[in-house]
Structure 1
Amino acid sequence: MQNKFLFPIALLSVVLIGSFGWNLHQDKQRVYELTIATGNKTGIYYPFAQAIAEVVIQENPRLRIKVVETQGSKENMRLLQANKAQLAIVQNDTEAVPEGRLIASLFKEAFHLIVSEQSGIQSVSDFKGKHIALMDKGSGSYSAFWLVSQHYGLKASDFKSTPGSWAEGTKLFASGEADAIFRVLPPGSDLVSDLLQNTRAKLVPIDQAAAMKIKLPYLQANLIPKGTYKGAPAVPDVDLPTVGVEATLLVRQDVHPEIVKEITQILFERRRNLVAANRLATMISQPSGSGSFAIPIHEGAQAYYDREKPDFFAANSNVIGLSFSFVTLFVSWLLQLRARFLQTQKNRADKFNLIILNLIQRSRQAGTFEEIDRLQEELFEIFKQVMEDLDQDRIDADSFHSFTFSWETALKIASDREKSLRNLSLVCDDLKSDFTEVKKMEK
């Protein structure tokens, strides 16, 4: 009968173990495919994402990242929100979406305002009546320009603007149709360098970054160092003040933490491979919070950043040790207090036991019924007092039980002594009666 039940149970156990092992094997062999939203192929985000995708698959063939071309940061955020992309490179001045989480700060970008020498433009305020080439609508550069123009009090009707790709913008600029180009690029960008060297162009400062930061805290004061784009003669010829933002790598919050941790680890621990593919990778850093989105770091990335942090007990060893010392002293004090209290209870109980022993001795020596009655009254009075002490915790339960044994013994001895006195009294009465009878007979 038992074998009938044991066989199905054993078979079920084998099936469950096999299923678990198969699932574990499948999970280890599973390929994770992610999509990263970038920017225009002629920009800097697309090739940077390609470098990340190449190095990630080299280090972990189970992680495959598909790089898609987009119009820029705003579109990338929309794709991230719609789950059409799980990763995105965006500027930190882009409006965030709830699904987005930070992985890393990738590199710094500076606002580049490039103007033709004959345009007469010396600052942003000189744009009135001019023609400026912008990046495509939806890009970070496009949005950044309007932040700058609004700060300087300019309206869209004050000048002509034409959005488009870098190639379209430079064509307008080179032909003289556009007086200026605005782009957000890392200092030292080859695109800017080629434009400055092949056209009669110059860089114009944007010198109110600190003021802009008051309303837009994600913006940063930045400099394009003297000689960044040419050493002799230096271009620019002085350290050029401008405004800066950060290019950041975002991920959807629902991407598995282990996958995000693996990608973060590759970004930082395979930096050399990334730099070989794209030199901007030298600037990858942990988000500091000072210039990043007001959104949290993904838990997978945070797990990597916290890898060398001591655990709670190690980090708080001094506090824990001090607290333990105080607790030990407090417990020791409580134990001593309790010992004193118990000793006080015992001493009080011993006092009553000594009184009982004295009453027992007196009971044995009692010669009259009146003495016995007084002793019994004392016994009941003592019992009443002990009951009150027990109720007030002046003696404990064990001492009370010990007392009741002594008390009952004393009460019994008093009772026995009373019986003995009664028997003795009867004997005496009989003897007296007999003596009287004898005397009568003699007469």
Structure 2
Amino acid sequence: MKESIFRKSSIFAALGSIFLIIIFAILLFQDNKRVHTLVLVTGQKEGQYYAFGQALSKVVHNHNHRIKIEIIESNDPQENLELLQGKKAELALVQSDTIVNNSTKAIAFLFPEVFHLMVRQDAGINDISDIEGKRIALMSKGSGSYNMFWRLQEHYQLDVEQIKTIPLPITEAHQALEDGEVDGLFRVVSLENPAVIQLLRNPQIKIIPIDQGAALRLELPALEVMSIPKGSYHGASPTPAEDLPAVGVRAVLITNKKISREVIFEITRILYEARNELVQEFIQAAMIEQWDESPHLGFTFHPGALDYYNKGNPSFIVEYAEAIGLCLSVSMLLISSVWQLRSWFTGKQK
């Protein structure tokens, strides 16, 4: 009687092991076919963050159909960070001066964003101190450009009461300067931005230098001393007419530390190795910063991004972690099954 029960138990154990092996194989197959959908929160549809997000989504999907990036717009970088930390997005774009917590990881430092102060020729503005008593259009409240203007105001000790600031959406702000409804427009934006190129075709509008970049860095280390090269916005009759001192920040692609290491590795790989395709979609991608090991002002990098930066490929264990785990599980089940079958045959012989 005991021998019969033992034999039946052994048979059921063996069948159970085979069943588990089949289940594991099905799950692995499904994982290999699964599409990873990530939400990337960018900025206003008229802005460069949204345009870059669309370009990245297209190029990533072209190179890996298992990764789909959905683009959503937002009003400002702080909202982007909140959506990421609230797990309503897996990816976000912010400026390099953004303060992040330890759960937020960088994937890449992207294109520079330069402070642009554009004014009307007849406004009597030749340097930033001249904007007192003038009407200055800013980007929407809460935006990175809006916040940066007030950092400049503090540094240059401008009288807030003497400046009429008018926050506006991007398109409306540009139009207001064109129409002479404001004397100047301040915006943090990448070089050769199409909207800025269009605006500076108007001979009545010019760019004002923003110097003291090194001093500004003492107050805000995330800033970089930059320049707007001669002819950046028009070559035949150069606009600007000479290299202008400037200051700026960088756009940063960030994610949550819990997002799949393999997925972030693949996004990072495509970001750098498919750069030519990305530039065709978004020309400022040509200025994406090469990664180095120096500190990045409060940002730490996602392990998946570091896998790419450090070795160019994920380690064997990282890349095949799931397959290795499956093999180990199957091996243990097979060993258990063989042992149980051996016990069954031994019992039968007895």
TM-score by length of 1: 0.67
Alpha-carbon distance in 2 for matches of 1:216, 1:46? 26
Q: Cα–Cα, structure 1 residues 290 and 211, in superposed 2: closer, same or farther, change >3 Å?
A: farther
Task: Specify the alignment match of 1:151 in structure 2.
Answer: 155
Q: Which moved more, 1:268-277 or 1:212-221?
A: 268-277
Do structure 1's residue 183 and structure 2's residue 184 form an aligned pair? no
Do structure 1's residue 8 and structure 2's residue 8 form an aligned pair? no
Match of 2:264 among 260, 266, 281: 260
Alpha-carbon distance in 1 for matches of 2:236, 2:271? 36
Alpha-carbon distance in 2 for matches of 1:227, 1:291? 33
Task: Specify the alignment match of 1:94 in structure 2.
Answer: 98
Task: Specify the alignment match of 2:140 in structure 1.
Answer: 136
Match of 1:30 among 28, 34, 39: 34
Task: Specify the alignment match of 1:74 in structure 2.
Answer: 78
Match of 2:205 among 193, 196, 201: 201
- Aligned to 2:201, the other structure's residue is in SS state helix
Q: Deviations over 1:11-35 (max 9, x none)?
A: 1111111111111111111111111
How far has the Cα of 1:113 moved from its partner? Answer: 0.5
Alpha-carbon distance in 1 for matches of 2:273, 2:63? 10
Q: Deviations over 1:88-144 (max 9, x none)?
A: 111112232443211011111111100111111111111211111111122211111
Alpha-carbon distance in 1 for matches of 2:63, 2:111? 22
Do structure 1's residue 305 and structure 2's residue 309 form an aligned pair? yes
Alpha-carbon distance in 1 for matches of 2:35, 2:92? 20
Task: Specify the alignment match of 1:121 in structure 2.
Answer: 125
Match of 1:224 among 212, 225, 228: 228
Q: Tell me if structure 1 keeps the 8 A contact 2:35–2:66.
A: yes
Q: Cα–Cα, structure 1 residues 244 and 177, in superposed 2: closer, same or farther, change >3 Å?
A: same
Alpha-carbon distance in 2 for matches of 1:293, 1:103? 14
Q: Tell me if structure 2 keeps the 8 A contact 1:128–1:159.
A: yes
Percent identity between the two aligned chains: 42
Gaps of 5+ in 2: 316-350
Structure with more of its chain in helix, by fraction? 1
Q: Tell me if structure 1 keeps the 8 A contact 2:99–2:298.
A: no
Q: Deviations over 1:190-249 (max 9, x none)?
A: 211111112511110111100010121111111101111112321111110010211111
TM-score by length of 2: 0.84
Q: Cα–Cα, structure 1 residues 20 and 155, in superposed 2: closer, same or farther, change >3 Å?
A: farther
Q: How does 1:7-406 map to 2 (within 5 A)?
A: 7-198=11-202, 200-288=204-292, 292-308=296-312
How far has the Cα of 1:287 moved from its partner? Answer: 3.9
Q: CA RMSD in A?
A: 1.8
Q: Tell me if structure 2 keeps the 8 A contact 1:93–1:140.
A: no
Alpha-carbon distance in 2 for matches of 1:93, 1:154? 22
How far has the Cα of 1:74 moved from its partner? Answer: 1.8
Gaps of 5+ in 1: 312-443
Alpha-carbon distance in 1 for matches of 2:190, 2:294? 19
Q: Which amino acid aligns with 2:208?
A: V
Task: Specify the alignment match of 1:330 in structure 2.
Answer: none
Alpha-carbon distance in 2 for matches of 1:9, 1:257? 36
Alpha-carbon distance in 2 for matches of 1:45, 1:183? 14
Q: Cα–Cα, structure 1 residues 285 and 137, in superposed 2: closer, same or farther, change >3 Å?
A: same
Q: Deviations over 1:390-440 (max 9, x none)?
A: xxxxxxxxxxxxxxxxxxxxxxxxxxxxxxxxxxxxxxxxxxxxxxxxxxx
Q: Cα–Cα, structure 1 residues 39 and 293, in superposed 2: closer, same or farther, change >3 Å?
A: farther
Alpha-carbon distance in 1 for matches of 2:89, 2:296? 20
Q: Which has the higher contact order (CA 8 A, sep 6+)?
A: 2
Alpha-carbon distance in 2 for matches of 1:67, 1:293? 27
Q: Which amino acid aligns with 2:37?
A: E
Alpha-carbon distance in 2 for matches of 1:66, 1:78? 17
Alpha-carbon distance in 1 for matches of 2:158, 2:22? 70
Alpha-carbon distance in 2 for matches of 1:102, 1:308? 17
> Larger C-alpha radius of gyration, 1 or 2?
1
Q: Deviations over 1:49-88 (max 9, x none)?
A: 1010011111111111110111131211111111111111
Q: Which amino acid aligns with 1:295?
A: F
Alpha-carbon distance in 1 for matches of 2:243, 2:279? 26
Alpha-carbon distance in 2 for matches of 1:96, 1:146? 21
Q: Which amino acid aligns with 2:277?
A: N
